[in-house]
Structure 1
Amino acid sequence: MPDLVLDLPAWLDADQRAVLTALAARNHEAHGDGLLGLVLSGSAGRAYATARSDLDVVVVLTDEAAAGRSTVHSPDLDEAVDAWSELCDVPAFGTEGWWFRWTYAWAPVLLDRTGGELTRAVHRQAVLTPEEADAVLLDHDRLDGWLNFVYRALKNDRDGRALEARLDAAESVAWLLDVVFALAGRVRPYNKYLPWELREHPLDGWPADPLLDLVGRLLDGDPAAVRESFALVRPACAVHDERRGHTRTTATIDGWGPELALFG
């Protein structure tokens, strides 16, 4: 059947190709036109697999066909099922579905029987609209929360509390990454894929190796790294505000008033 020809990435080996071809045929046999497409996620979908990696595939079905289906796990294949309405839904930050959005980032679409709608829906999951970026940064306090942790880290360092400073600096990392990726209009990757994404899909203004080095030094509690992170985020927020036509992120930072002296 011509519309079951898969667009398989070049890096997959013969065994992986055979598994994926069989999976497509099996789902077509079970669901016919209810099979809308296949998406290859996980390490194999990003040319990042090891000898122990399996294939993570999202089988996209019509809502009717997806009813009663669930994820199937095996040593070689994880076959997750997404109903069409679920794929088209874009969960907000902080909701249960938010965590799964990065599943679709940079994930090859192996089969799209929707005339491109499925491919567009996959891409949409992993990007943030300007309004979503503002929501992450401001409505969900990721920017202000990050400022709180780096401020506490510097206060503890100033007061000779080395362990406490290290803990706060380390805790600031997750918040910092949410801020950095929101400013770039992208969903933050899972930790496993952070180096991969930064190197394979660079963030404008955030070169991979310097940012990864900064993260490592923050995890070590280096107060110089804490101040460096502030020096990088502040102008990035100004650029974001100019692009958005508001001053909300800059105002959040400026709202710390005299306390900002500690960041100098």
Structure 2
Amino acid sequence: MPDLDLPDWLTSDQRARLVRLAERNVADHGDDLLGLVLSGSAGRGFATERSDLDVVVVLSDEAAAGRESTHSPDVDEAVDSWSELLTVPPFGTEHWWYRWTYAWAPVLLDRTGGELAGAVRRQATVGPDEADGILIEHDRLDGWLNFAYRTLKNDRDGRGLETRLDAAESVPWLLDVVFTMAGRVRPYNKYLAWELRNHPLDGWPADDLLGLVRRTLEGDVSAIRETFARVRAACSSYDTSRGHTRTTDMVEGWGEELRLFEPR
């Protein structure tokens, strides 16, 4: 029987299912089973009566090559090889979206002496150089500014539908900026409010950011202007921490067009 570290919030039924899953994987893989990670809603204390268990089974490279992920109404078992877990997909690549799977996901079983827990944390965090790349080389900051600017122009010119469309388009770019500056992978939309409330971001209280997002999605241009002021301040703080002025320079590079962001 493997010694599992099960979160306190799990129900007795969930705990029993996880114990059976662990016993089966130990029997099937022996020492090639390196660990188990609980993701999904159950892994974050966010489950409902309709939620299943999402478990990442981490295997040696050889064992993982002969094992496929499985899905059932009660348990989904995704398989990661050790090499896959240690490989951190860059922003914009095919598997970038999968990295948040590991955010705040408890490690139930670690047979690597702590290396597994470290690899899980690395998947869900954004290093300083990586953050610069996302914000600047991948244009997430400039992209948000572009959609925000288009929103304000549409509103100025009386194009209501277009205002709302560009405002909505701006939100994913904004969230990438906010979470990247905090050194985190942006959460899946389902978990946005949960993460902001359970793992707050400096400078972006949950109710403030969620309120700005809601108002932006409604096409409220005052929310765009309020958000811009916060982003500008966040860029200054971020640049100070990084010892450069790259994000501030990118914002200020908009020149006279920034006047449209001034409060009305």
Which TM-score applies when normalising by structure 1?
A: 0.98
Percent identical among aligned pairs is 73
Aligned position for 2:215 = 217
Question: 1:122-173 CA distances to partner (integer Å, 9 max, x unpaired)?
Answer: 0011111001111110010000000000000000000000110111011100
3-state SS, counterpart of residue 95 of structure 2: helix
Question: 1:4-29 CA distances to partner (integer Å, 9 max, x unpaired)?
Answer: 10000011111111111111111111
Residues in 1 aligned to 2:68 and 2:90: alpha-carbon distance in whole angstroms: 23
Aligned-residue offset at 1:68: 2.2
Aligned-residue offset at 1:69: 1.1
Aligned position for 1:244 = 242
2:10 counterpart (9, 12, 20): 12
Structure 1, unaligned runs of 5 or more: none
Aligned position for 1:53 = 51
3-state SS, counterpart of residue 211 of structure 1: helix
Aligned position for 2:138 = 140
Aligned position for 1:70 = 68
Matches within 5 A, 1:107-118: 107-118=105-116
Residues in 2 aligned to 1:169 and 1:55: alpha-carbon distance in whole angstroms: 35
Aligned-residue offset at 1:71: 1.1
Matches within 5 A, 1:223-262: 223-262=221-260
1:38 counterpart (36, 39, 52): 36
Matches within 5 A, 1:176-195: 176-195=174-193
Aligned length: 262
Aligned position for 2:158 = 160
C-alpha RMSD of matched pairs (Å): 0.6
Q: Does 1:80 align with 2:78?
A: yes
Residues in 2 aligned to 1:143 and 1:183: alpha-carbon distance in whole angstroms: 10
Matches within 5 A, 1:82-97: 82-97=80-95
Residues in 1 aligned to 2:140 and 2:177: alpha-carbon distance in whole angstroms: 6
Residues in 1 aligned to 2:150 and 2:240: alpha-carbon distance in whole angstroms: 29
Q: Which runs of 4+ in 1 moved over 2 A?
A: none
